[in-house]
Amino acid sequence: MTIQIRKGKRATEPQCLGSQRSLNSEDLLFPNQTGDSKAAVYFQLSNGRFRPPPAHRLIAHHIVDTIAPIFFRVSRTMWLPLRLTLLLLFLLLSPRALLRSGSAAVVSGEEEEFHEELLLKPLPDRKVLAHFHFHSIAPPSKSNGRHHHLFPKAISQLVQKFRVKEMELSFTQGRWNYERWGGFDPISSNNAKPPGVELWAVFDVPEDQVDAYWKNLTNSLSGLFCASINFLESSTMYSAPKWSFRITPGRLRYGTLPREAVCTENLTPWLKLLPCRDKAGLAALLDRPSIYKGFYHSQRLYLTSNASVPAETVSGISLEQTLTVVLQPNSPSSSSIHSGESNFQPSWSLSSIFGRKISGKCVLAQSSIVYLQLEKSIFSEQKDNMDNGPNSLASEGFAGGSGFEMSLDPDIVIEEENQSQHKGSSVLYGFWVEKYNESQPFDLGLKWKYPVFWSSRQAPLHASRFLMGSGNERGAIAILFKSANSADSSSGSRHVSDGCELQVDVFQVVPWYIKVYYHSLQIFVDDEAKPIGDFVHKIQVSPSKDKTSPGMMEMLLKLPCDVRSAALTLEFDKGFLHIDEYPPDANQGYDIPSAVISFPSFHSVMHLLSNDSIRKSPLLSRFQEKNRVQSYTEVLLVPLTTPDFSMPYNVITITCTVFALFFGSLLNVLRRRVGEEERYLKAGKKKGWLRVLLSRLLAKLRGKPMEEPDQPSSESAPLIGKKLVLKVILVAVLAVAWQFYST
């Protein structure tokens, strides 16, 4: 409760402790208990045979495991040669496929593993990127059961219970600056996330149950990470993208909370998943004040599980936790030769950025490596400088006299294969942290000797999004693509390829109260309105339903390669909500989540010159995976009109008064009689049948002939007296009857 008050989160956030307790309790369900027992048996057999090495042969092992049930009836003598041939067959297949399936394959290893890595990278705008990468692997095995040595139990239970095949959760503060910090490298494609919380998950359940599982998952994660993820439970908050968000189809659900505040209370449970917490190893660097004062902060959790394991065993899970921060090193005004230079890259060290040093690795980690990534263009520039510059610089520095100085000697240098003419290939310096200890802490420092300039590699198009129009009734969303390399493409190098096409995937979710008119989609290429059919190759829309589901648009654009700018506009009407649906700060406005822009024909992949150490490093193998270039646009803030929250009673009473006025006055007019009609009415009334009946009855009782009721005035007094008596008798009879029947 105190946490909520401190951070000012939404009031309905669940109690973190309660949810965690329910997660840790032992009565988690394991559906599908009656699985394929044969496969499980084989699994044990093969485990007894030989221990597979952890690298590429392991994949073959995995494949054999999956195919095994088919061949199980083959005799055991036949089995070994068959296995070898399969192995060979697999090795003949492309090595790229091998790498891609690497992360999934590692899962089927024997023991739980934990790797910790840190990548440091100076950014062109005098900032430093620190990317922590923690990788935990739990192998699928029966022996482990529900017990783990290193792997976080909460996550494995989550995966088991909700049948999660793949999941990514990110908490982000700040916006990734694609123009300056790069938009093409693996870090920006994988780790640059939209502000707030983003969650997507692929489930291994039938399509009709996915929503139910998603709802349970959001509530569990909400408890686990002390965040308002449970708001994603409502069907207005999540969507099911078909093809634009991820290439691989699946039972995917996607939801974002753009306004979620991210703070230490989200980081602490995230750190709890690490075996050493933040007590030892690289995570010890995470000094809260220094990482939260940065420009960008994104903590991310990505897990995959090989769901196709037999039910007896616990499925293997690979958990990848990354923390990406962009920090500004507080540079002491550079005391070197170029002290007057304002664009001098600041020198920094780990202790100056984080205020801490690394005192050795986390003892439970298999590997603990710190990488420093530098752009190759620095070196080329250096060479130019060397040609005409003073020779004194050559004697200093590390890599053949570069303009910088590292305080420690790297243990390994990895270069990126310069496979294309694209600039932006880089050099990685690796440092083994295990060599350092308490007495000799690891404190990497980087010192620049003279100003260097470089630019990060950009995605082919830079996407931004903005709102158009004014007022609170309607508006338009515009997505603007600008060619990132407009300067060099204008030279004409690309004009040669005339049929060249640039594919752009747009995935946009819009909340239901932004009522988008999809027919108003317009496309402007190079500032000219063009027919949609020329560029929109494929479009899929699921329009929003009021209070039920958000609107989702998936679009595949094919733009010519030499396009300078392209813009999409969509008009919308702003909806009006019920008074209860407005949040407490209704006048702040509403967020439209980021659109996801991806370029299917571009892949952010680092081709590192192969080395044995690369294989071991999950971070580098992740970098070598082929992922498409992806970027997120800005979150839009839409102000909505508000009603007067203070006077529901007034509105109800005044409206009802008007209705009463209508009803009353119209009925009054209809039944009003004037003048002669009044008299007719009175005359008519006197001849009411009850009265006639009564007078006849009276006449009979008296034994007199019935008299005309024309002159009732003369006899009115005695008549009334008798009537009164009659009435009293009637009431008395009724009362007696009531008494009689009610008892």
CA 159 to each of CA 114, 213, 249, 306, 631: distance values in angstroms, whole numbers, following the listed order: 18, 11, 19, 10, 28
Shortest gap between Cβ of 643 and other proteins (angstroms)? 4
Of 212 and 661, which CB lies nearer to other proteins in the complex structure?
661
Shortest gap between Cβ of 4 and other proteins (angstroms)? 25
Shortest gap between Cβ of 236 and other proteins (angstroms)? 12
**CA 268 – CA 257 distance, rounded (Å):** 20
Of 652 and 693, which CB lies nearer to other proteins in the complex structure?
652
| Subset of 465-504 contacting other proteins (CB under 8 A) | 470-474
Decide: is 536 part of the binding site for other proteins (CB under 8 A).
no
Decide: is 537 part of the binding site for other proteins (CB under 8 A).
no
Shortest gap between Cβ of 480 and other proteins (angstroms)? 23
CA-wise closest residue to 188 among 634, 635, 630, 633: 630
Span of 132-140, 414-422, 454-462, 514-522 interacting with other proteins by CB under 8 A:
514-522
Q: Site for other proteins (CB under 8 A): which residue of 409, 528, 644, 710?
A: 644
Span of 44-52, 76-84, 577-585, 707-715 interacting with other proteins by CB under 8 A:
577-585
Query: If DSSP codes are grouped into helix, strand and coil, which group holds residue 87?
Result: helix
Span of 41-49, 198-206, 495-503, 646-654 interacting with other proteins by CB under 8 A:
646-654
Q: Map residues 425-464 to x or -, x wherever contact with other proteins holds by CB under 8 A.
A: ----------------------------------------
Of 202 and 516, which CB lies nearer to other proteins in the complex structure?
516
Of 654 and 732, which CB lies nearer to other proteins in the complex structure?
654
Span of 189-197, 337-345, 513-521, 606-614 interacting with other proteins by CB under 8 A:
513-521
**How many residues can be counted in the chain?**
743
Decide: is 663 part of the binding site for other proteins (CB under 8 A).
yes
| Subset of 611-640 contacting other proteins (CB under 8 A) | none
Span of 316-324, 414-422, 541-549, 687-695 interacting with other proteins by CB under 8 A:
541-549
**CA 36 – CA 83 distance, rounded (Å):** 21
Decide: is 659 part of the binding site for other proteins (CB under 8 A).
yes
CA-wise closest residue to 116 among 325, 303, 319, 282: 282
Decide: is 648 part of the binding site for other proteins (CB under 8 A).
yes
Of 340 and 471, which CB lies nearer to other proteins in the complex structure?
471
Shortest gap between Cβ of 240 and other proteins (angstroms)? 15
Span of 246-254, 478-486, 512-520, 602-610 interacting with other proteins by CB under 8 A:
512-520
Decide: is 89 part of the binding site for other proteins (CB under 8 A).
no
> Tokens 């649906």 — which residue?
581
Of 7 and 547, which CB lies nearer to other proteins in the complex structure?
547
Q: Site for other proteins (CB under 8 A): which residue of 441, 543, 560, 600?
A: 543
Asked if 246 contacts 252 with a C-beta cutoff of 8 angstroms, the reply is yes
Decide: is 576 part of the binding site for other proteins (CB under 8 A).
yes
Q: Which residues pair with 446 in a beta bridge?
A: 348, 406
Decide: is 734 part of the binding site for other proteins (CB under 8 A).
no
Shortest gap between Cβ of 576 and other proteins (angstroms)? 4
Q: Which residues pair with 375 in a beta bridge?
A: 426
Decide: is 610 part of the binding site for other proteins (CB under 8 A).
no
User: What tokens were used for 196?
Assistant: 């707030």
Q: Site for other proteins (CB under 8 A): which residue of 247, 655, 682, 693?
A: 655
Shortest gap between Cβ of 468 and other proteins (angstroms)? 15
| Residue 411 CA neighbour count, 13 Å, CB half | 14
Shortest gap between Cβ of 573 and other proteins (angstroms)? 8
Strands in 204-316 per DSSP E: 238-239, 251-257, 296-305
Buried b (16+ CB within 10 A) or exposed e, 132-170: bbbbbbbbbbeebeeebebbbebbbbbbbbbbbbbbbbb
Query: If DSSP codes are grouped into helix, strand and coil, which group holds residue 372?
Result: strand
| Residue 220 CA neighbour count, 13 Å, CB half | 22
**CA 116 – CA 100 distance, rounded (Å):** 21
What backbone phi and psi angles, to 5 degrees, belong to 215? -65, -45
Shortest gap between Cβ of 505 and other proteins (angstroms)? 18
Of 74 and 651, which CB lies nearer to other proteins in the complex structure?
651
Of 283 and 557, which CB lies nearer to other proteins in the complex structure?
557
Residues whose CB falls within 8 Å of the CB of residue 303, separated by 6 or more in sequence, listed in order:
155, 159, 164, 166, 167, 168, 317, 318, 319, 320
Span of 147-155, 432-440, 574-582, 602-610 interacting with other proteins by CB under 8 A:
574-582
SS (H, E, C) 22-53: HHHCCCCCCCCCCCCHHHHHHHHHHHHHCCCC
Shortest gap between Cβ of 520 and other proteins (angstroms)? 8
Q: Site for other proteins (CB under 8 A): which residue of 41, 307, 386, 539?
A: 539
Span of 287-295, 556-564, 568-576, 624-632 interacting with other proteins by CB under 8 A:
568-576
| Subset of 675-714 contacting other proteins (CB under 8 A) | 675-677
**CA 345 – CA 334 distance, rounded (Å):** 9
Q: Site for other proteins (CB under 8 A): which residue of 17, 74, 637, 651?
A: 651
**CA 341 – CA 381 distance, rounded (Å):** 18
Decide: is 653 part of the binding site for other proteins (CB under 8 A).
no
Decide: is 642 part of the binding site for other proteins (CB under 8 A).
yes
Shortest gap between Cβ of 93 and other proteins (angstroms)? 40
Q: Site for other proteins (CB under 8 A): which residue of 30, 72, 453, 517?
A: 517
Decide: is 666 part of the binding site for other proteins (CB under 8 A).
yes
CA 438 to each of CA 99, 365, 414: distance values in angstroms, whole numbers, following the listed order: 37, 17, 28
SS (H, E, C) 532-592: HHHHEEEEEEECCECCCECEEEEEEEEEECCCCEEEEEEEEEECCCCHHHCCCCHHHCEEE
Burial class (CB within 10 angstroms; exposed 0-12, middle 13-18, buried 19+) of 440: exposed
Decide: is 641 part of the binding site for other proteins (CB under 8 A).
yes
Decide: is 409 part of the binding site for other proteins (CB under 8 A).
no
Q: Site for other proteins (CB under 8 A): which residue of 45, 667, 706, 735?
A: 667
**CA 315 – CA 163 distance, rounded (Å):** 10
Decide: is 413 part of the binding site for other proteins (CB under 8 A).
no
Asked if 326 contacts 296 with a C-beta cutoff of 8 angstroms, the reply is yes
**CA 545 – CA 281 distance, rounded (Å):** 50
Decide: is 670 part of the binding site for other proteins (CB under 8 A).
yes
CA-wise closest residue to 63 among 318, 319, 308: 308
- Pairing assessment for the beta strands 412-415 and 426-432 based on DSSP bridges: antiparallel
Q: Which residues pair with 374 in a beta bridge?
A: 427
Decide: is 147 part of the binding site for other proteins (CB under 8 A).
no
- Helix orientation angle between 689-702 and 716-742, rounded to the nearest 10 degrees: 100
Q: H or E stretch including 80?
A: helix 76-92
Of 364 and 552, which CB lies nearer to other proteins in the complex structure?
552
| Sign of CA pseudo-dihedral 269, 274, 279, 282 | negative
Site size toward other proteins, by CB under 8 A: 53
Q: Site for other proteins (CB under 8 A): which residue of 72, 662, 682, 729?
A: 662
| Subset of 579-608 contacting other proteins (CB under 8 A) | 579-580
In the complex, which residues of this chain contact other proteins (CB under 8 A)? 470-474, 512, 515, 517-520, 539, 541-547, 551, 573, 575-580, 641-644, 647-648, 651-652, 654-655, 658-659, 661-663, 665-667, 669-672, 674-677
